[in-house]
Structure 1
Amino acid sequence: MSVATLAYEYPSRFQVPEHAHGSDQLIYAISGLMEVSSGQSIWVIPPHFALWIPARTRHRIHMAGPVSMRTLYLRAGLTARLEPRCCAVLHVTPLLRELIVETVRLGQLRVRNRYEYALRDLLISQLQRASPLPTFVTMPREARALAIAQRILRDPAESKAMAALCAEVGVSVRTIERVFLKELGIGFESWRRQVRLTKAVELLVSGSSIKEVAYTVGYCQPSAFVEMFRRTLGTTPKAWIIALESLGHESTNSHTSLPLPPLPRSL
């Protein structure tokens, strides 16, 4: 068996505790919003994104609302040439989505079955073609920088200047900038924009209007938010939501809700 699967309907606010697998994993939901954490990083995963998690990477999952999860477990080494070899959000095209759904319907892909073998090869090919997307947040480790980061994460609309935030925790702006650049590779304001984008994705998926989202994540003018979104994801929030809705109408009637499942065994 080269690919195993898990299909499950999770209730709102359900928490999957920290764990790891001996197989590579693709976490995908045909509906609902997931928040996945690993180490210092946090990813928000709406339905037309999936999260690639390499084998032996410890992670935990929070369901922001009801989630219809469809997860693939690929035998370690099967995707040795697949990049990236670290966690990454991938864009799920209509074809990749159907491949995931069909693989989950079958339950597993075996190399001795010609159809399943061909499906596996096509699935891997589509994963290799999938575009990584920058919808994640990485937290600094340094205590004062972490305190500022946690405040922004709790309230992305926080409008205080960096100098005021630094003064509250007793550190200079120069020190915090140095910490963010050293630990995360980006400056504080770039990091804050990333937090706002991640929160915006969550709000857009939940049905908030573009105007509401813009104000909630700290933009006084919706046009400024739209421009930030377009520069980052290559499309406007409206076009993004339309594309998302066109992919999100699969019926889940064929998957019966069961008692909460144990973590799947490694392949």
Structure 2
Amino acid sequence: MASYARTYRDGYVSAWHDHPRHQLVYAVAGLMMAKADGTSWAVPAGTGLIVPAAMLHEIRMVGEVQLQSLYIDPAETGAGAMAACRAVTVSGLLAGLIAALCAMGNPWPLPPRAHHLSQLILIELGAAPDTPLALPYPPDARLRRVCDALMADPGSARTIDHWAALAGMSRRSFTRAFQRQTGRSFGQWRERLRCQIALRAQARGAAMEQVARDLGYASRYALQAMMRRRV
């Protein structure tokens, strides 16, 4: 297991790439927006994104981001915890283990302390709960057309019937297909999209009252209540 720590400026983009090892990208501070495995991920401070070996991914920094990253050999005992792409909540214990390993500066040969830290990290990653901010993109082109339109106008108050018509589907077929392909209802998907947008705006210091109006909420309190439910 190798470690890496760095601070990135607002707007920095790590363009599409992959790694021969599994990776954990942990946001110590700030907000990362990532794309991987057909899903858009919001990775705010206190959460991390697990990216399996050889998986293409892109990461954008929103605001100044303090990042700690781990690279794990897929053959390492316990690396099965890293085999699927997912965003996880980083507990205080796991954050302390990651910080301790990063502070060691990748000594080689690996001393016993670094080895034990890495094993504890893998155990804690296997137990880490998923975060609620994944935004899967449906494979069906008709549903993607709806998602693209909603991304362009996330505050739209149009009804499900409107979106079903845009997809060229009946309401029932649309809602069933959307749930099946994304694992979320259309309403849940739209709420997650709005939450991601609000998190980006918040990280950049935007006026949340205006953000709330743009996203179709009566006030910033209503928007913040939704964000508390999601995050």
Q: TM-score, normalised by structure 1?
A: 0.74
SS of structure 2 residue aligned to 1:66: strand
Amino acid at match of 1:56: A
CA drift of 1:27 comes to 0.3
CA drift of 1:135 comes to 0.8
Q: Within 5 A, what are the aligned runs for 1:1-267?
A: 3-78=1-76, 80=78, 82-83=80-81, 85-108=83-106, 112-168=110-166, 170-207=168-205, 214-220=212-218, 225-233=223-231
CA drift of 1:189 comes to 1.7
Q: Deviations over 1:93-124 (max 9, x none)?
A: 23322222222222226575122222223322
Contact 1:110 1:116 in 2 (8 A): no
When residues 118 and 159 of structure 1 are mapped into structure 2, their CA distance, relative to the original with a 3 A threshold, is same
Contact 2:62 2:204 in 1 (8 A): no
CA drift of 1:80 comes to 3.6
Q: TM-score, normalised by structure 2?
A: 0.84
Amino acid at match of 1:28: Y
Contact 1:103 1:109 in 2 (8 A): no
CA drift of 1:146 comes to 0.7
CA drift of 1:209 comes to 6.8
CA drift of 1:18 comes to 1.7
User: Where do 5+ consecutive residues of structure 2 fail to align?
Assistant: none
Amino acid at match of 2:94: L
Q: Quick one: distance in 2 between partners of 1:83 and 1:116?
A: 19
User: Where do 5+ consecutive residues of structure 1 fail to align?
Assistant: 234-267
Contact 1:30 1:48 in 2 (8 A): yes
Q: Deviations over 1:149-182 (max 9, x none)?
A: 1122233222111222343454433332232133
Q: Percent identity?
A: 27
Cα RMSD (Å) of the superposition? 2.7
Contact 1:109 1:120 in 2 (8 A): no
Which structure is higher in RCO with an 8 Å CA cutoff and minimum separation 6? Answer: 1
Q: Deviations over 1:120-148 (max 9, x none)?
A: 23322332332211211011122221111
